[in-house]
Structure 1
Amino acid sequence: MRYILAFAGSNSSVSINYQLVKYTSSLINGHEVRLRDMANYPFPMYSEDVEKESGFSNSLVEFKNEIRNAIGLIISVNEHNSYPSAYFKNVIDWLSRLDSQFLVDKKILLMSTSNGGRGAKGALEDAEKMLTRFKGEVVETFSLSKYGENFDEEKGITNSDFAKIHADKVASFVKSISLI
């Protein structure tokens, strides 16, 4: 059975973007969702020297295969100084070196959240450009601003306006992968 792979672009053990991905995954019905905590995937900083000396780690190859075998992806990117984190960029760098076609025809629900008023929209926009460059299809995007005010780890999105928008985006994403 094909599945949806869900993860955050953060390797923090207290990632709010992981919490958003986890919550979003709990809303998916009719599809298996494999949730990955990227804090368990410590990839070295990409460089040609490291690639030549060490090649590709087993965990990178396994992660790439999980992406390839998924029917769709749910990703939430964190923001550092208005851009996706160095960790997320590094993961994309490694994956693209291993297989430049790693996202071909992959349907993606791309999200972001932060405690600020923009909800990591800068990172979201840049991540969308990165993912589509490798032929991923970003079906929907969602940004949750003021995470601390609008999200509860037990209840999920507490702001009714954001909750409605999020639910609509999730439904649209699920519909897009159901057509495959």
Structure 2
Amino acid sequence: MLKYLLYTFVFFSLPLAAETRVVVFSGSLRADSWNTKLAKEAAYIASKKGATVTYFDLNQYPLPFFNEDIERTTGMPENAKTIRRAIQNAHAVIIASPNYNGSMSGVLKNLLDWISRSEDGKDSRSVFKGKKVALMSASTGKSGGSGGLAHLQYVIEKMNGSVIERKISVGRADSQFDADGHLIPSETRSNLAKEIEEAIR
């Protein structure tokens, strides 16, 4: 089943022990983003391995800048609630993040700030508790945007997520994807598949 804004991939290869739910999103809003391509490739691989994958396009889930005045007067925005609840119901989360000046993108940090909050005042910063989190990046540079992942890992771990040690960075991304948006067969794609395997098993 495919939906435009929030869609679910369901393909089956080797069966998992039980239904494994995975949330995937990219921290980039740019049209034709390499990180969005990477996130969708990760979603595709996870679904081929038997997971039920929900992908969020953050362009379709805009949020105001985090502000406790907004939180106090109107509560958590509905778009943040939607993503937060999906993560709470998932077994694993996959995030592809661009490197902006050695950190994550503003839109990604803002999302994390919102979903780190509690809807009921009881479970702040628990959204990633018990979740495996796979981090990855892509850029046209040689390093593949890897410089921002350390800061992202720090934030996710502050939110009680368990970040997988293996992190994939796709360098020279403009030559790594085919016309359909899939990674070309390579060591990078093989390592990405291994990272996804660690996340969903």
TM-score when normalising by structure 1: 0.88
**Counterparts of 1:122 and 1:155, CA distance in 2:** 24
Secondary structure at the counterpart of residue 23 of structure 1: helix
Q: CA deviation at 1:57?
A: 1.2
**Counterparts of 1:81 and 1:138, CA distance in 2:** 21
Number of corresponding residues:
175
1:119 maps to 2:144: yes
Q: CA deviation at 1:2?
A: 4.7
For the 8 Å contact 1:114–1:145, the answer to whether it is kept is yes
**Counterparts of 1:133 and 1:74, CA distance in 2:** 17
1:20 maps to 2:38: yes
Q: CA deviation at 1:153?
A: 4.8
For the 8 Å contact 2:136–2:169, the answer to whether it is kept is yes
Mark the runs of 5 or more structure 1 residues left unpaired by the alignment: 176-180
Q: CA deviation at 1:151?
A: 2.0
* Of 64-73 and 2-11, the range deviating more from structure 2: 2-11
| 1:89-122 CA-partner distances (Å, limit 9, x unpaired) | 1111111123321110111111111111111112
Of the candidates 11, 21, 24, which is equivalent to residue 6 of structure 1? 24
Task: Tell me the equivalent position of 1:138.
Answer: 163
Equivalent residues in 2 for 1:13-162, closer than 5 Å: 13-28=31-46, 29-98=49-118, 99-139=124-164, 140-154=166-180, 156-158=182-184, 160-162=186-188
Aligned structure 1 segments of 4 or more residues deviating by more than 6 angstroms: none
Mark the runs of 5 or more structure 2 residues left unpaired by the alignment: 1-18, 119-123
Q: CA deviation at 1:159?
A: 5.9
Secondary structure at the counterpart of residue 66 of structure 2: coil
**Counterparts of 1:153 and 1:96, CA distance in 2:** 37
